């Protein structure tokens, strides 16, 4: 378990699952969860490259923390949007949110 491939494999599986979730799910909360998966896949990559990429400093770690913070902020904003969406149209199905469609 000391080579980078395993980490990258986990991260890409996680990313693929996230993308799959984002593409296939209609529920906004589920899509948000998919996005979290993608972000976390990215985080794993950051950490992995920091660990195995020959870097002296903790750049990857710091980036991971930033991403986590951003994810939290993003989740907060997204959840607020979703709540408003639910208030307005009574559902969190993204397909129903088509008022801005041309």
19 close to 38: Cβ distance less than 8 angstroms: yes
Minimum distance of another protein from residue 102's CB (angstroms): 7
Helix (H) or strand (E) holding 36: helix 28-52
Residue span binding another protein (CB under 8 A) among the ranges 54-62, 63-71, 79-87, 92-100? 92-100
Q: How many residues bind another protein (CB under 8 A)?
A: 9
Instruction: Please list every residue from 20 through 39 that binds another protein, using CB under 8 A.
Output: 22-24
Q: Which of 5, 57, 90, 101 touches another protein (CB under 8 A)?
A: 101
Question: DSSP assignment of 55-88, as one string?
Answer: -SS-HHHHHHHHHHHHHHHHHHHHHHHHHHHHHH
Binding site for another protein (CB under 8 A): 19, 22-24, 94-95, 98, 101-102
């Amino acid at each position: 378990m000391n080579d980078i491939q395993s980490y990258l494999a986990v991260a890409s599986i996680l990313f693929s699952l996230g993308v799959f979730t984002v593409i296939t799910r209609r529920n906004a909360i589920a899509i948000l969860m998919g996005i979290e998966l993608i972000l976390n896949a990215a985080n794993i990559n950051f950490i992995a490259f920091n660990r195995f990429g020959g870097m002296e400093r903790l750049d990857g770690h710091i980036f991971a923390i930033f991403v986590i913070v951003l994810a939290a902020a993003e989740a907060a904003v997204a959840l607020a949007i979703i709540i408003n969406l639910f208030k307005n149209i009574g559902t969190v199905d993204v397909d129903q949110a088509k008022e801005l469609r041309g």
